[in-house]
Amino acid sequence: MAKVLYDKDANMKVLTEKTVAVLGYGSQGHAHAQNLRDSGVSVVIGLHEGSRSKAVAEKDGFKVYSVADAVKNADVVMFLMPDHVQGDVYRKSVAPNLKKGAALAFAHGFAVHFNQVEPSKDNDVFMVAPKGPGHLVRRMYTEGRGVPCLLAVEQDATGQARDLGLAYACALGGGRAGILSTTFAEETETDLFGEQAVLCGGITELIKAGFDILVEAGYQPEIAYFECLNEMKLIVDLMYEGGMGWMRYSVSDTAKYGDLTAGKRVIDDHVRENMKKLLEEVKDGSFAKDWILENQSGRPRMKKWVKSEAAHPIEAVGKELRAMMPWMDAKSAPDA
């Protein structure tokens, strides 16, 4: 296994004497800001005019500034606003106010890897990406534990970038769980590929295909929903806790035999070829370019697709069935 770093490997002094500006106070922002503060780091928050997060950050006891003012006195500037706005924010509010020798930090590599943020040669650039959502990063920290983090250094201007990034990851609680090294390219490309091919794109289409085929064959949509969507959680939880072996051990022998005979016929060479094409489009930047242009034109295609996905029958039947499950804190997305 690759080398894993822990609290004992870090020199916290390189960070505790510094001021960190956390830009954005959403899922990741609230966790980074509070964990760093509790680790003895001085933290200020930078938000855009009219941000709904301002009141939350102030309630949590932070000083909230404009992005420009937060950046002016900061030694480390952590970007925790949505990835697609980071380029604009960097050019307009960060770069003109950045202290010489200050470090730029990220929790995902998209903006730097696809040249939306083009740092000057004088700045350290590192990434600390916790492998969990912000509320878990915060909760684990308060319980004396941590969420594993990825650490990458894109640019080392001061000779201290890696030490600083490692100290940041430890201040976040990552050093209690383990910190793995990566690069901006590896983190960004695998993240985009994973969400497209497997996690979000792959799984929703797999579920819908199964559901559609059962319903078209005359089975009840309610039964199709249970089989293709609801039970997915059970199976994923088993794999999450004990790998595929534990899942196969836990299901019936009939399910296991069906899994082993049918899976490869569904995800066949043709699907793997399509996945390879997706990876190529991530690596050569064509996906990033498409996504940036879609944002620049106000997301017209995305809005249309979200609407048509919301109209798929699995969504209506799911809503009714979830209401019958009292143990579940059922959620629903706001209208597109």
- State the residues that interact with Mg ion by CB under 5 A: 191, 195
* Nearest alpha-carbon partner for 291 in 2, 82, 144, 11: 82
Query: Does 129 contact ligand NAD by CB under 6 A?
Result: yes
Segment near ligand NAD (CB under 6 A), from 35-43, 126-134, 211-219, 272-280?
A: 126-134
Strands (E), the chain: 4-5, 19-23, 42-47, 64-66, 76-79, 103-106, 124-130, 149-155, 179-181
**Whole-angstrom Cα distance, residue 76 to residue 321?**
48
Query: Does 221 contact ligand NAD by CB under 6 A?
Result: no
Partners of 103 in the β-ladder:
76, 124
We find the least distance from the C-beta atom of residue 79 to ligand NAD, in angstroms, to be 6
Partners of 66 in the β-ladder:
47
Of 16 and 27, which CB lies nearer to ligand NAD in the complex structure? Answer: 27
Determine the size of the site formed for ligand NAD (CB under 6 A). Answer: 24
Of 70 and 161, which CB lies nearer to ligand NAD in the complex structure? Answer: 70
- Residue with the shortest CB distance to Mg ion: 191
We find the least distance from the C-beta atom of residue 25 to ligand NAD, in angstroms, to be 4
We find the least distance from the C-beta atom of residue 109 to ligand NAD, in angstroms, to be 9
Catalytic annotation present for 108: yes
> Which residues between 79 and 98 bind ligand NAD (CB under 6 A)?
80-83, 85, 89
> 14 with 163: CB under 8 angstroms?
yes
Q: How far is CA 302 from CA 92, 288, 295, in A?
A: 26, 14, 9
Q: Which amino acid is at 160?
A: Q
We find the least distance from the C-beta atom of residue 249 to ligand NAD, in angstroms, to be 30
**Whole-angstrom Cα distance, residue 11 to residue 1?**
24
Q: Which residues are annotated as catalytic? A: 108
In the complex, which residues of this chain contact ligand NAD (CB under 6 A)?
23-29, 47-48, 51, 53, 67, 80-83, 85, 89, 107-108, 129-130, 133-134
